[in-house]
Chain A
Amino acid sequence: MNLLHIGLGYLGAGWGAGVIMLAAAGGIAKLSAAALEGTARQPEAAGNLRTSMLIPAALIEGLGFFALVICLLVALALNGVVAKGG
């Protein structure tokens, strides 16, 4: 019995989660690097910069969690397929 399609499905869910991590972490890292540089140049603006950094960071993290939930749904659906018998 060839279970290749189920294995590829799980692989897709796992790798998808990894790629999401890369993208979200990269985006937020770029954002916080810019905020740190701005704070280093002008320490009085630290409060404003922190607030302006948190909103996009929360939005990007929200997108990351979207995709993570999709990967979780894929894995759970595959669990159901496996339990039903391939």
Chain B
Amino acid sequence: MDFVEILQHHILDHRLVKLFTLGSTPVYLTLHGLMMWIAGMLLLIALLVARRQSGIVNHGWANFFEVFIVYIRDEIVRPNLGESGDRYLSYFLTLFFFILICNLLGLVPFGATATGNISVTAAMALTTFLMINISGVRELGFVHYLQTFIPHGLPFWLVPLMFVIEILGLFTKSFALCIRLFANMIAGHIVVLAFLCLIFIFKSILIAPISVGAAVGLGLLELFVAFLQAYVFTLLTAVFVGGAVNPQH
């Protein structure tokens, strides 16, 4: 068993079953797709139960979700989007919980990290990109939204350059969101696998306490990083959407 083979087996996506054919391309259900479905179903069940247990006084699961929901509303959405930002609250809550559960599913046995696939994070960065632009155009109107790309108080000969740089910045922000989440999730798994493969490279059981200890420690770090990266993705999306909806003059 090669280290590269072990990495490929644990980190890359695998096709499980063929679903249907779209024109001439077959569409497969892959491992990461299955993990995303499981995350969606878990969230659906847990949130339906929480909704039934909620009310004037929350019981059980509603209490648990209320911590996260109130934190996202009061610390992430309202400071960046203002009081009228409650319209976008459902998008941010969905984003946060989906990324969180996908990250955490990579830490249980027989689970894989769906957000460790660059296609998944690229799709989420694409939805954030669309969110930023659509909300900006809806709030400000198309022409006025384009005018926000020109910073205030510039000499006129700098305006074309700054406009291009700001447009590039728009793409860079979404690309950075994609890469940040993907690399954080993948790096943890690669390092844990590298430590565990040390046992097979050295072909001795004596390295096992160090390897397993390091794997446990890194697993705890990965748990922290899972929560932190979900929070950071949601926070940065809120900051960017807030910057597009009410730009500072």
Instruction: Give me the interface of A with B, judged by CB distance under 8 Å.
Output: 51, 54-55, 58-59, 61-63, 65-66, 68-69
Contacts and interface: CB of A to CB of B under 8 A. Distances in A.
B236 A65 contact: no
Given A65-B184, A65-B187, A54 B232 contact: yes
A83 B184 CA distance: 29
* Smallest CB-CB A-B distances: 9 pairs: A65-B183, A62-B180, A58-B232, A62-B176, A66-B179, A69-B183, A65-B180, A65-B179, A69-B179
Interface residues of B, number: 14
A5 to B, nearest CB: 22
A68 B177 CA distance: 15
Contacts, number: 34
Contacts of A62: 176-177, 179-180
B67 to A, nearest CB: 16
A55 B79 CA distance: 14
Residue of B184, B232, B235, B239 with highest tally of chain A CB at under 10 A: B232
A68 B183 contact: yes
Given A65-B184, A65-B187, A55 B239 contact: yes
Contacts of B228: 58
A54 B183 contact: no
B86 interface: no
A47 to B, nearest CB: 9
A58 B180 contact: yes
Interface string B177-218: 101100110010000000000000000000000000000000
Q: Classify the secondary structure of A's interface with B.
A: helix
With a 10 A CB-CB cut-off, give which of A62, A63, A65, A69 has the most chain B CB atoms.
A62
Contact of B180 (A51, A55, A61): A61
A51 B236 CA distance: 12
A18 to B, nearest CB: 15
B66 interface: no
Contacts of B235: 54-55, 58
Most chain B CB within a 10 A radius of its CB, from A58, A61, A63: A58
The CB with the most chain A CB atoms within 10 A, among B177, B180, B184, B187, is that of B180
Interface in B100-120: none
Contacts of A51: 75
Contact of B236 (A58, A63, A66): A58
Contact of B176 (A54, A55, A66): A66
Contacts of A65: 179-180, 183-184, 187
Given A51-B75, A58-B236, A65-B183, 10 more contacts: A54-B232, A55-B236, A58-B232, A62-B176, A65-B180, A65-B187, A66-B179, A68-B183, A68-B187, A69-B183
B2 to A, nearest CB: 12
Nearest to A68: B183
Interface in B136-194: 176-177, 179-180, 183-184, 187
A69 B184 CA distance: 11
